Amino acid sequence: MQDRLILGQCLFYEADPRIAGPSGLRHTSRGGVLIRKRHIAAIGEADDLRRTHPQAEITDHGQNLILPGFVDAHAHFPQTAIIASWGKRLIDWLNTYTFPEETRFDDAAYAAEIAARYFDLTLANGTTTVASYATIHPASVDAYFTEAQRRGLRALTGKTCMDRNAPNGLRDTAQSAHDDSKALLAKWHGVERLSYVITPRFSPTSTPDQLDALGTLWAEHPDCLMQTHISEQVDEIAWVRELFPDARDYLDTYEAHGLLGANGLYGHAIHMEPREIDRLSEVGAAVVHCPTSNTFIGSGLFDMGLADRMRVGLATDTGGGSSFSMLRTMAAAYEVAQLRGTALHPAELIWRATAGSAEALRLEGKIGSLKPGIEADLCVLDLSSTPAIAQRAARAEDIWEAVFPTIMMGDDRAVAQVYVAGEPVTL
């Protein structure tokens, strides 16, 4: 396979900009990424790479900006067809739209159709890795992984487990949740670029017996991630208190059943108690910020200050989230932070949608940055994709003024090219 040299503006990742400031991402107006055997082999100035690798096949993206592919740390691919459905609150939305749609995934052909559509949409928006929930049906996991494998993607998912407070067609049992998850894990985990994630939906839809069973499975496979939801809405927290009267708090409903750990991913995490924050920090767990979902469903405003104490990923949460775009997600994260009195720098927003989410997924050594040895998943952005963006970017005095209009106003039109494992994707 011939070396491929991708040229354009580049942002090279040197440190977390939350700690190092904007200088954590180093900009070059004429840089390049050398791809060899599906990985990044070298980065640097374009002229230097041309000289040292004269045999490489060159693709020149001009003034477009080369970034790592976006990493979506929390999504629900089965909700693709119901995105942007009008609703009231979380439970109402689940009962009205989510659960009826998810019952359709016992049909393997329908699951495969939606999986293909989902990856078409995410790739068109520059997202090259997603950690998604499936449904209770093993066929939904097979459909997602089969489609991701066909496209050569790095992808994560797991059978969503629910044995109460859900329709008949969407309930399993404690035993079947354990057994199905174990079989799917054995089938898919570590195959090519795929990772299985143990997935109790959230405490209200799992009995203590089911949470115990999944905690046991996780203890047997501690290298796997475990994903769930926590403290998304105030009325949800009240419901959890009713269902688990002996629990100290929401997090304790997981902790008491072996579902708190360093490889845990806890989605939303908006209304947490001090003890919950302390425990998540102590064990090294990650939380995932889903800003378009939190505003769309009226859940609340995430505190990005949590990133001072723990890993924080960024995510669309489609279909509760209202966009497949990580650009729109970054814009919403900026808006939410503004409402809490913090102006997130564009460098942190970009880092959070790439390297930060990769860290949350424990994949920082594989994806999420432009560094030698990292898998060559890239997103190339046109920073003048619409007239409104172009006229603002034309006045930019540095890279951050140039990229911020695309963060705030960009969509799939800004995605000029995507590379998966070094190969260009037809958009």
Residues 6+ away with beta carbon under 8 Å from 410: 325, 327, 328, 381, 385, 386, 389
Tell whether 60 and 117 lie within a shared domain. no
Tell whether 218 and 229 lie within a shared domain. yes
8 A C-beta contact, residue 290 and residue 72: no
Our count of domains for the chain comes to 2
Q: What are phi and psi of 228, to 5 degrees?
A: -160, -175
Tell whether 185 and 43 lie within a shared domain. no
Judged against a pLDDT cut of 80, whether residue 215 lies above it is answered with yes
Q: Of the candidates 360, 379, 406, which is a domain's last residue?
A: 360
Q: Are strands 378-381 and 57-68 parallel, antiparallel or unpaired?
A: antiparallel
b/e per residue 325-351 (b: at least 16 CB within 10 A) = bbbbbbbbbbebbeeeeeebbbbbbbb
Taking only the tens place, the pLDDT of each residue in 272-318 is 999 999 999 999 999 999 999 999 989 999 999 999 999 999 999 99
CA–CA distance from 159 to each of 41, 107, 252 (Å)?
36, 15, 23
Surface-to-core class of residue 308, CB atoms within 10 Å of its CB (0-12 exposed, 13-18 middle, 19+ buried): exposed
Nearest residue to 86 via CA among 421, 320, 302: 320
CA–CA distance from 400 to each of 21, 263, 327, 347, 397 (Å)?
12, 33, 14, 7, 8
| pLDDT score recorded for residue 166 | 94
**How many CA atoms are closer than 13 Å to the CA of 104, on its beta-carbon side?**
17
Taking only the tens place, the pLDDT of each residue in 357-368 is 999 999 999 999
Tell whether 196 and 258 lie within a shared domain. yes
- The domain spanning residue 133 has which CATH number? 3.20.20.140
8 A C-beta contact, residue 265 and residue 290: no
Tell whether 38 and 136 lie within a shared domain. no
User: Among all chains, which residue has been given the structure tokens 């929390």?
Assistant: 74
- The domain spanning residue 39 has which CATH number? 2.30.40.10
State what percent of residues in the chain have pLDDT above 90: 92
Q: Which helix (H) or strand (E) holds 330?
A: helix 326-339
| pLDDT score recorded for residue 1 | 74
- 169 is in which domain, residue-wise? 70-360
8 A C-beta contact, residue 395 and residue 384: no
Tell whether 356 and 381 lie within a shared domain. no
Beta bridge partners of 60: 7
CA–CA distance from 203 to each of 207, 249, 287 (Å)?
7, 11, 16
Q: Are strands 39-45 and 25-36 parallel, antiparallel or unpaired?
A: antiparallel
Tell whether 57 and 166 lie within a shared domain. no
Tell whether 201 and 330 lie within a shared domain. yes
DSSP for residue 189: T
For the whole model, what pTM was predicted? 0.97
CA dist., res. 24 & res. 5, Å (int): 24
Compute the average pLDDT of residues 230-237.
Answer: 96
Tell whether 49 and 169 lie within a shared domain. no
Tell whether 136 and 191 lie within a shared domain. yes
Q: Are strands 225-230 and 160-161 parallel, antiparallel or unpaired?
A: unpaired
Q: How many CB atoms are closer than 10 A to CB 18?
A: 18
Surface-to-core class of residue 423, CB atoms within 10 Å of its CB (0-12 exposed, 13-18 middle, 19+ buried): middle
CA dist., res. 64 & res. 7, Å (int): 9
SS3 of 145, please? helix
Tell whether 195 and 137 lie within a shared domain. yes
Residues present in the chain in total: 427
Residues 6+ away with beta carbon under 8 Å from 31: 7, 8, 9, 10, 12, 43, 44, 45, 46, 66
Q: Of the candidates 331, 360, 389, which is a domain's last residue?
A: 360
Q: Of the candidates 338, 360, 382, which is a domain's last residue?
A: 360
Tell whether 345 and 378 lie within a shared domain. no
- Is residue 90 very low, low, confident or very high in pLDDT (cuts 50, 70, 90)? confident
CA dist., res. 334 & res. 324, Å (int): 17
Taking only the tens place, the pLDDT of each residue in 310-344 is 999 999 999 888 999 999 999 999 999 999 999 99
Rg (the chain; Cα; Å): 21
Taking only the tens place, the pLDDT of each residue in 25-40 is 999 999 999 999 999 9
Judged against a pLDDT cut of 90, whether residue 97 lies above it is answered with no
